[in-house]
A = this chain, B = another copy of it.
Amino acid sequence: MSNYTVLQNRFTNAFKALSNPNRLALFSRLMNCCAPGTKCDATIAVRFCVGDLGEGLNIAPSTLSHHLKELNRAGLVEMERKGKNVECWVEPEKLKALSSFFQPD
C-alpha cells in the first residue's frame, strides 16, 4: 500500500469502509436521513446517536460500535460524545469529495 499516493490510500480506505453491508447501511442513514416527506438539505449534517443508528440492523452493540469506529477511522463519519450518547454525522464536504472521485477530469 506504500506504493500509492496519500490520496489513493484515502479513497481505498473510504471504499473499504463502505464495502460491508452493515456499514453501508449506517452510512446511508447518516447521509440520506431527514424527516419523512421532507426535502433533505444537503448543506446540513444530520446527527444520530450510535444506538439509534443501529436500529433494525440486528447486530450486537459491540459490532455496531466496531463498524462506526471503522467509518470514523476512514474519515467518513464524525463522532462526538454528548452526555450519555455519542452523536454521529457525515460532513457534506466528504460527500462532495467521494462523488467527484467518479467524475473524470
A residues with a Cβ closer than 8 A to B are 1, 3-4, 8-9, 11-12, 15-16, 18-21, 24-25, 28, 31-32, 40, 42, 58, 95-96, 98-105
Contact = CB atoms under 8 A, between A and B. Distances in A.
Given A19-B19, A40-B104, A99-B102, 20 more contacts: A1-B21, A4-B21, A4-B25, A8-B25, A8-B28, A9-B21, A12-B18, A12-B20, A15-B15, A15-B16, A15-B24, A16-B19, A18-B19, A31-B102, A32-B104, A42-B103, A42-B104, A99-B99, A99-B100, A99-B103
A19 B96 CA distance: 19
20 contacts: A1-B21, A3-B21, A4-B21, A8-B21, A11-B24, A12-B19, A12-B20, A12-B21, A15-B15, A15-B16, A15-B19, A18-B19, A31-B104, A32-B104, A40-B105, A42-B104, A95-B102, A95-B103, A99-B100, A99-B101
- Across the A-B interface, the 7 shortest Cβ-Cβ residue pairs: A16-B19, A99-B102, A15-B18, A19-B19, A98-B102, A15-B15, A15-B19
